[in-house]
């Protein structure tokens, strides 16, 4: 079965700093979702990457998909306290199984003002 | 409604009791998913429904777990004879199509505590 490993597991940064979170898959990536979760709340969809080399941005958050490395990275520029939360990556197990996702363990981001 | 609604938001039940969790998806979303998030662990897929197709139940952990969906509307997840290991946040999500190219919309979850 597919496994997604996120690194780092937790991250503490000062406001204004840039940061990167990585998500590495044990198998071929057919797509990759990034979500953000705040305590006690549901997951907020950030973006989905479908093709190798694809890069998407949403406000100050940019994500890339490297098919060869079976990895995706999420980069936050000039972090703000509002970026704090748990970042989760999720991937479908195969090209025809988009209905279910395997998720990473999450990266806990803390941003100090 | 504007988002995915789940009820109850919190449920405490005694071991051995049955519980029913409800999910109201976004109107028009044909696909509906249930996930479980146990403390300190990642999200686990449980089941998804897509239109009139047979649901994919491959993630249900045991036969104590079942789920139903009425058309493209409300879904209920039922756990019979609850055990302490069933304690978790149960998250429901919906999307316009299977796979959710635009992402699944998740509800806030039901926090289940089995005592």
Task: Note the pLDDT tens digit of each residue in B19-31.
Answer: 999 999 999 898 9
Per-residue pLDDT averaged across A34-60, rounded? 86
| Confidence band of A73 (pLDDT split at 50, 70, 90) | very high
Q: Are B91 and B21 in contact (CB under 8 A)?
A: no
- Of the candidates A40, A88, A100, the beta carbon closest to that of B56 is on A100
CA neighbor of A10 nearest in space, from A74, A81, A85: A85
Say how many CA atoms lie within 13 Å of B14 toward its Cβ.
Answer: 1
CA neighbor of B76 nearest in space, from B110, B53, B101: B110
Q: Which residue has the tokens 């959710």?
A: B100
pLDDT at A81: 95
Residues in chain A closer than 8 A to B9 (CB atoms): none
pLDDT tens-place string over residues B75-115: 999 999 999 999 999 999 999 877 667 788 999 999 999 99
pLDDT tens-place string over residues A30-43: 889 999 998 767 88
Residues in chain B closer than 8 A to A35 (CB atoms): 103, 106
Asked if pLDDT for residue A12 goes beyond 70, the answer is yes
- Cα angle: A110, vertex A33, A69; to 5 degrees: 95
Hey, which residues 20-79 in chain A have their CB within 8 Å of chain B? 31, 33, 35, 40-48, 50
Q: How far apart are CA A100 and CA B29, in angstroms?
A: 16
């Amino acid at each position: 079965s597919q496994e997604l490993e996120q690194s780092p597991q937790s991250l503490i940064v000062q406001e204004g700093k840039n940061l990167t979170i990585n998500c590495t898959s044990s198998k071929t990536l057919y797509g990759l979702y990034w979500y953000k979760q705040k305590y006690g709340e549901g997951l907020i969809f950030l973006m989905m990457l479908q093709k190798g080399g694809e890069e998407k941005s949403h406000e100050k958050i940019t994500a890339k998909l490297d098919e060869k490395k079976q990895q995706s990275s999420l980069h936050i520029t000039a972090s703000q306290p509002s970026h704090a939360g748990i970042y989760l990556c999720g991937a479908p197990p195969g090209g025809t199984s988009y209905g279910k996702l395997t998720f990473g363990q999450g990266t806990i981001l803390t941003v100090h003002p | 409604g504007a988002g995915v609604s789940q009820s109850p938001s919190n449920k405490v039940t005694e071991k051995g009791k049955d519980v029913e969790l409800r999910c109201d998806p976004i109107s028009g979303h044909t696909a509906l998913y249930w996930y479980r998030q146990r403390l300190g662990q990642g999200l686990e897929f449980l089941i998804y429904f897509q239109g009139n197709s047979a649901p994919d139940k491959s993630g249900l952990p045991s036969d104590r777990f079942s789920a139903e969906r009425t058309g493209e509307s409300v879904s209920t997840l039922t756990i019979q004879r609850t055990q302490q290991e069933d304690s978790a946040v149960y998250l429901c999500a919906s999307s316009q199509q299977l796979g959710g190219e635009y992402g699944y919309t998740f509800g806030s979850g039901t926090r289940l505590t089995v005592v």
